[in-house]
Amino acid sequence: MKTAQIEMILLMIVLIKICYCNPVEENEVLIQLQADMENLKEVIASMKNLVEEALAGNRLYQPRARLPELPGIPGVAGRDGKDGTDGRDGVDGRDGVDGRDGEKGDDGLPGRDGIDGKDGIPGEPGMKGETGGRGGGVVYTRWGRSICGSDSVLVYEGLTAVSRQDQPGGGVNFQCMVTDPEYNSHSTAISWPGFLAGAEYETNNFGVFSDADYKQNAPCALCYAANRSAVTMIPGKRSCPDNEWTFEYEGYLMSEWYNRNHQTTFECIDAEPEHVYGESAADNGAFFVFNKPVCDKGMPCPPYHPEKAITCVVCTR
């Protein structure tokens, strides 16, 4: 029998043994077969040597080339090992690129009012506002005219009157009498009266007033200056003190003539006087005359002039 045939027979015996073994013992049988195969390889190798020596005496025998050894049967795969310990956490990766904005969602419900915060630091003072109007108002009499200045309102126009200049009694202050008097039932049969007379311009054609005003009665106007709180007449001036004061009119300081029995107050008669039309001239009831300083009786000259009429101005504020 040839060596190759012997090896095939042995291999078939091994396979048959494997096929009929108990599956439970399969792994143990395979392990034992591996050991048996190694032994069989050694036996086969020895038998091959004996056969070759026996045939060596036969001259017709030509030994074949040595057959390659057959590989052994692969071993049974081992069991899976136990799971290894979890590795450490890796380093955090870089932030990814921001995604696109999503679609706008529905408006949420209004939240509750928050708690009031603390008061902030006071801010810097603001710019100064415009000056407000003054409350109230003042009234003044414009002597010698029947109208008021552009910044005032006419209350009424009237006639200038005072007590007669030839009587020692009566009042001393000039009055702006209305042109439409009203009476009541007890205004008659006065037995012990005072007498009012119209005041005339006794200017003697000095060239200060118009010649047409000489010996004519002086009108007057009661004027109201809104949003003002003070009014004053300044003798000797033609202008008001500063921009805080409003110019109403300028004129001349006039009063009753010095040589009469009746004294009066000083009034500022308008520099451009009017006269009352329709009244007779030279009634001599009361006079408006210019005033000039007496330089040797306490009035300094200069600055005053002994021959010039003293001026005046009416101002409101």
Q: What pLDDT, on a 0 to 100 scale, did the predictor assign at position 284?
A: 62
Q: pLDDT-derived band of residue 299, with 50, 70 and 90 as boundaries? A: confident
The rounded distance, in Å, linking the Cα atoms of 140 and 155 is 10
Asked if residue 298 belongs to a domain, the reply is: yes
Asked if residue 40 belongs to a domain, the reply is: yes
Whether 301 and 208 share a structural domain: yes
The mean-pLDDT minimum among 68-82, 86-100, 154-168, 192-206 falls in 68-82
Please tell me which residue, 164 or 107, carries the higher pLDDT value: 107
Phi first, then psi: give them for residue 157, nearest 5 degrees: -105, 150
The overall average pLDDT reported for the chain is 77
The rounded distance, in Å, linking the Cα atoms of 218 and 145 is 8
Asked if residue 96 belongs to a domain, the reply is: no
Asked if residue 76 belongs to a domain, the reply is: no
Please tell me which residue, 206 or 138, carries the higher pLDDT value: 138
Asked if residue 229 belongs to a domain, the reply is: yes
Task: Give the chain's domain count.
Answer: 2
Residue 298, Ramachandran bin (φ over 0: left; ψ between -120 and 50: alpha; else beta):
left
Q: What pLDDT, on a 0 to 100 scale, did the predictor assign at position 309?
A: 84
Give the tens place of pLDDT for each residue, 157-189: 998 887 766 666 667 778 888 888 876 776 566
Contacts of 27 (CB under 8 A, 6+ apart): 76
Asked if residue 105 belongs to a domain, the reply is: no
Give the tens place of pLDDT for each residue, 24-44: 455 676 677 677 777 777 777
Whether 152 and 268 share a structural domain: yes
Residue at which a domain ends, from 55, 81, 97: 55
- Please give the share of the chain, as a percent, with pLDDT higher than 90: 9
Whether 144 and 254 share a structural domain: yes
Q: What pLDDT, on a 0 to 100 scale, did the predictor assign at position 146?
A: 92
Residue at which a domain ends, from 16, 35, 55: 55
The rounded distance, in Å, linking the Cα atoms of 243 and 47 is 149
Whether 172 and 43 share a structural domain: no
Q: What pLDDT, on a 0 to 100 scale, did the predictor assign at position 247?
A: 92
Asked if residue 44 belongs to a domain, the reply is: yes
The rounded distance, in Å, linking the Cα atoms of 269 and 208 is 12
Residue at which a domain ends, from 16, 40, 55: 55
Whether 152 and 12 share a structural domain: no
- Is a pLDDT exceeding 80 seen at residue 138? yes
- Is a pLDDT exceeding 60 seen at residue 144? yes
Range of 101-110, 228-237, 281-290 with top mean pLDDT = 228-237
The pLDDT of 118-138, averaged and rounded, is 75
Whether 143 and 41 share a structural domain: no
- Is a pLDDT exceeding 80 seen at residue 124? yes
What is the domain extent for residue 301? 137-181+194-316
Interhelix angle 26-55/3-19, rounded to 10 degrees, is 170
Asked if residue 152 belongs to a domain, the reply is: yes
Give the number of C-alpha atoms closer than 13 A to the C-alpha of residue 102, restricted to the C-beta side: 2
What's the predicted TM-score (pTM) here? 0.50
Give the tens place of pLDDT for each residue, 243-293: 889 899 998 888 877 666 667 778 898 988 888 765 555 566 677 778 888
CB-CB contact of 251 with 312 (8 Å): yes
Token digits of residue 268: 């500022």
Q: What pLDDT, on a 0 to 100 scale, did the predictor assign at position 187?
A: 56
The pLDDT of 144-165, averaged and rounded, is 85
Whether 46 and 141 share a structural domain: no
